[in-house]
Amino acid sequence: MDTLLLGLHEISALNVLLAIVLGALIGVTIGSIPGLEPAGVMAILLPLTFSMEPLAGVSLLLGVYGGAWYGGAIPAILMNTPGTPVAVLTTYDGYPMAQRGQGKKALSIAYTSSFVGGLISIFSLVTLAPTLSQVALLFGSAEFAMLAALGMIFVVLAHRKHVVEAAMMLGLGIFLGTIGIDRSFSSQVYTFGEVWLLNGIPLVPAVIGLFAMSQAFVLLSQRGQDASRTKLEGEGMFAGVWILFKHKVTVIRSAALGVVMGLLPGVGEFGSQFFSYTLAQKFSKTPEQFGNGAEEGIIASETSNNAVTASVMIPLLAFGIPADALMAMLLAVFMVHNYIPGPTLFSERPEFIAGLYLSLLLMNIVVFLYLTFATRWIVNLTRIRGRFIGACILVLGFIGAYSQNYQFSDALIALGFAVFGYVLRRNDIPAVPIILGLVLGPVFLTRFRQAMGVADGDMSIFVSRPISLVLLALIVLSIGVFVASQLRSRSPSPVSQS
């Protein structure tokens, strides 16, 4: 109760409340505009959060993150165009309902499902993060090295159709993470005598370039979105509450899958949404309706992807390991304010942890109420032309990259990553592994070197310690299962042989 009161005191500050509301509104706006992703906007806002108080800065980014998943359902249902990548499956059943004049009903189901999924995700964060942080007390250098390696392996394997490309991008990110001063030997690594590379590749310009400015180039190279089809018809903006009660088993199953998938680096919303939708169709009494306006389809899609939003923070808070690029941005905010994720954060900053829980809860409430009553006006955002949005993002990206350290070299780094990110997008090559390699690569190398120093160069330290052995076994098992599945999919079936 004392911790809860401390958390209430933290979020009652005006700047924190404004950050929660502003982040939520920006997130909904971003999600409602097709072609604009929350990662890019979070990257632009990242330098701004460094000058804010820790809870306010984190709440602003989380508001954008969570609000975008809510707002992405609007164009997905009304235009058959997902506002965010994770709203793809929402189009399968949401758009057919809108064509039948049930657009409001479909949106109500989506909003209510997202709200319930968000609440369950917050509950999982409150219960699991402190427990796992105590487990982290048992971790040494060997365990953290294997945990970082496991996270990087999961990120690569999550891109099932582009594993080779993801592995190459991860390797590039790890290489970029080695640039700068090697503090173990006080020597320069790949700086080529350039002063601006002594501190390494800065994370913020890299994130802004890869996610925000590259998306701006994509928007500038295409026509703006045609919004003549966006119509909000039908009745029942509160119908979703009763429909969720009717399909409560689907809600619980989808939320549980979202929580579990959020714990796995690189899997997140896409994996949880796919499995939830598949299971919902399998156990449905009317599976033939899926893809033609099934209420359970929208519930499975929206509940699962919003159940990830808080559970994805569990590895970050408990171990200091970001599960995706968005969590890597949050980690940057933590580190700037000297808030080190892990067991010490829960014991030394309980008021911050409690405030974080409550800010997530308040963010979901604000977004749900805002969407329920303001959707009729929000749908007009889909009419903004893509080129105009791209131009604004490009300008803000340059400002954000420069404003971190007020160095022109940071803006040039962001531009270089933007061009590279644009090439990756055009060739359907994942960019997320680069950022996670840039963040987790130095963690792995540092911890691996420390473990080798403790063991006098004996590699058996990674198998002689139980937790490290389990993590190493998970790495081997994950790779083995993936290789086996690939071989099985490529082997000709008996029918084709005959």
Number of other CB atoms surrounding residue 17 within 10 Å: 16
The model's pLDDT over 433-461, given as tens digits with 9 standing for 90+, comes to 888 888 888 888 888 988 888 888 888 88
Decide if pLDDT at 111 tops 70: yes
Cβ(82)–Cβ(75) below 8 Å = yes
- Token pair 């209510």 is at which residue? 112
pLDDT exceeding 90 applies to what percent of the chain? Answer: 10
Distance of CA 238 to the CA centre of its chain: 28
| Choice between 288 and 268, residue whose per-residue pLDDT is larger | 288
The pLDDT value given to residue 216: 84
Q: Which helix (H) or strand (E) holds 180?
A: strand 180-182
Cβ(321)–Cβ(265) below 8 Å = yes
| Residues near 390 by beta carbon (within 8 Å), at least 6 away in sequence | 215, 216, 217, 218, 219, 220
**Using 50, 70 and 90 to split pLDDT, how confident is the model at 266?**
low
DSSP character at residue 213: I
Cβ(433)–Cβ(206) below 8 Å = no
Decide if pLDDT at 384 tops 50: yes
180 bridge partner residues:
189
User: 0.85 exceeded by the pTM?
Assistant: no
Decide if pLDDT at 174 tops 80: yes
DSSP-assigned letters across all residues of 326-378: HHHHHHHHHHHTT---SHHHHHH-HHHHHHHHHHHHHHHHHHHHHHHHHHHHH
d(CA 214, CA 204): 14
d(CA 62, CA 327): 9
Give me the count of residues in the chain: 498
Decide if pLDDT at 354 tops 90: no
Nearest to 65, CA basis, from 360, 379, 296, 319: 360
Mean pLDDT computed over 333-360: 85
- Token pair 């509450």 is at which residue? 241
Lowest mean pLDDT among 21-25, 63-67, 371-375: 371-375
pLDDT exceeding 70 applies to what percent of the chain? Answer: 90
Decide if pLDDT at 258 tops 70: yes
Cβ(76)–Cβ(82) below 8 Å = yes
Distance of CA 186 to the CA centre of its chain: 35
The pLDDT value given to residue 382: 65
The pLDDT value given to residue 228: 44
Strands of 113-269 (E only): list them.
180-182, 187-189
Nearest to 117, CA basis, from 244, 288, 274: 244
DSSP character at residue 284: -
Torsional sign, CA 169, 173, 179, 185: negative
d(CA 69, CA 52): 24
3-state secondary structure of 181: strand
d(CA 478, CA 457): 27
- Mean pLDDT, rounded, of the chain: 82
Phi, psi for 287 (deg, rounded to 5): -65, -20
The pLDDT value given to residue 133: 77
Decide if pLDDT at 168 tops 90: yes
The pLDDT value given to residue 227: 44
Phi, psi for 92 (deg, rounded to 5): -60, -40
189 bridge partner residues:
180
d(CA 302, CA 75): 14
| Choice between 344 and 384, residue whose per-residue pLDDT is larger | 344
The model's pLDDT over 133-164, given as tens digits with 9 standing for 90+, comes to 777 777 788 888 888 888 788 878 877 778 88
Quick one: residue 234, left, alpha or beta (phi over 0 = left, psi -120 to 50 = alpha)?
A: left
d(CA 426, CA 55): 37
Q: Which helix (H) or strand (E) holds 4?
A: helix 2-11
Torsional sign, CA 13, 14, 18, 19: negative
Decide if pLDDT at 326 tops 60: yes
Nearest to 328, CA basis, from 199, 208, 179, 475: 208
Quick one: residue 188, left, alpha or beta (phi over 0 = left, psi -120 to 50 = alpha)?
A: beta
The pLDDT value given to residue 232: 58
Lowest mean pLDDT among 21-25, 311-315, 356-360: 311-315
**Using 50, 70 and 90 to split pLDDT, how confident is the model at 18?**
very high
The pLDDT value given to residue 423: 92
